[in-house]
């Protein structure tokens, strides 16, 4: 097959791509696949590891630099910023945001799209919104009479929800002592974990564990330096976060045998 393969990852915040998919972005970029990363906000409302380090006003500038730094680690990544404000995606008129994504899909024609599933990893409001925007955009991009000014109708072939395996969450509990994200100060939002029989697609990213770590390190304003996996003596090879990335195939227009080990199974 000579068609150029392309993948689009659609996420909410700078760093969403790093923890969940940094390895896959690097692996597929390394294979010469055209990679597009769409990031809806610049993480202006996210937690700051060291509040003295930066004022909120310049936080978005810093987070964009960090995101660009991460993209450079993964390889040749085309970054698209939607320009929304962190924490406020729920009040964006969906038609404007979905239109922007439809336009990107029709222009870049990714066969594979990855985004949040309905769980939003841990139910972050922006993640839930991005799930709805991505799902709607994939559907509308293919409709022959919809938004023709946004480009020619285009059908994405495979749509994946990026999910966490229960194994990853158990490991996190063991290493970090928690299995939730404190939202709005201190409200625990637990990570949603999936069992092996629910996960359709597991990508072995062990060859890209160092690149994934380098990408995560770029998001330094969001990281506490004492995190176990940032220490030099940490064994990344025994942490599933650095060896495999997990997905659920939510929609496919090609034949593929599940479970898969390649997001492009059935396309090459």
Residues that bind Zn ion in the complex, under the rule CB under 5 A: 12-13, 16
Q: Select 179 or 252, whichever has its Cβ closest to Zn ion.
A: 179
Question: Is the CB of 106 or the CB of 117 nearer to Zn ion?
Answer: 117
Q: What is the DSSP string of 132-151?
A: HHHHHHHHHHT-TTS-GGG-
Name the residue among 39, 3, 5 with its Cα closest to residue 158: 5
> Among residues 126 and 214, whose Cβ is nearest to Zn ion?
126
- Bridge-based pairing of strands 244-252 and 201-204 is antiparallel
Which residue of this chain has its Cβ atom nearest to Zn ion in the complex? 13
Provide, rounded to whole angstroms, the least separation between the CB of residue 182 and Zn ion: 14
Residue 119 C-beta: closest distance to Zn ion, Å? 13
Q: Among residues 15 and 34, whose Cβ is nearest to Zn ion? A: 15
Parallel, antiparallel or unpaired: strands 77-84 and 201-204: unpaired
19 or 229: CB nearest Zn ion: 19
Q: How far is the CB of 187 from Zn ion (least distance, A)?
A: 16
**Least distance between Zn ion and beta carbon 15 (Å):** 7
CA–CA separation, 128 vs 232, rounded Å? 35
258's tokens: 């599940």
Tallying the residues shown for the chain, one arrives at 268
Report d(CA 6, CA 225) in Å as an integer. Answer: 35
CA dihedral 245, 251, 255, 258 (to 10 degrees): 40
We find the least distance from the C-beta atom of residue 75 to Zn ion, in angstroms, to be 22
Nearest-approach distance from CB 45 to Zn ion, in angstroms? 10
If the CB atoms of residues 44 and 260 are measured against Zn ion, the closer one turns out to be 44
**Which of 87, 53, 10, 57 lies closest to 222 in space, CA to CA?**
53
């Amino acid at each position: 097959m000579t068609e150029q393969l392309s993948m689009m990852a659609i996420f909410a915040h700078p760093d969403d791509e790093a923890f969940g998919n940094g390895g896959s972005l690097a692996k597929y970029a390394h294979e010469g696949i055209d990679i597009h990363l769409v990031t809806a906000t610049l993480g202006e409302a996210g937690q700051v590891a060291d509040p003295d380090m930066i004022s909120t006003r310049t936080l978005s500038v810093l987070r964009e630099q960090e995101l660009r730094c991460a993209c450079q680690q993964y390889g040749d990544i085309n970054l698209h910023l939607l320009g929304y404000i962190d924490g406020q995606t729920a009040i964006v008129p969906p038609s404007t945001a979905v239109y922007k994504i439809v336009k990107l899909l029709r222009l870049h024609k990714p066969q594979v799209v990855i985004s949040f599933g309905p769980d939003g990893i841990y139910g972050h409001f922006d993640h839930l919104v991005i799930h709805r925007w991505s799902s709607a955009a994939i559907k509308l991009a293919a409709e022959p009479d919809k938004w023709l000014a946004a480009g020619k109708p285009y059908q994405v072939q495979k749509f994946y929800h990026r999910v966490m395996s229960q194994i990853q969450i158990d490991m996190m509990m063991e290493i970090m002592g928690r299995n939730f994200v404190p939202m709005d100060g201190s409200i625990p939002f637990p990570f949603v974990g999936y069992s092996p029989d629910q996960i359709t697609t597991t990508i072995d990213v062990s060859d890209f564990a160092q690149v994934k770590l380098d990408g995560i390190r770029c998001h330094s304003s969001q990281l506490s330096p004492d995190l176990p996996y940032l220490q030099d003596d940490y064994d990344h090879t025994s942490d599933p976060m650095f060896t495999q990335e997990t997905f659920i195939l939510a929609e496919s227009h090609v034949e593929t045998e599940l479970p898969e080990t390649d997001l492009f199974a059935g396309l090459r």
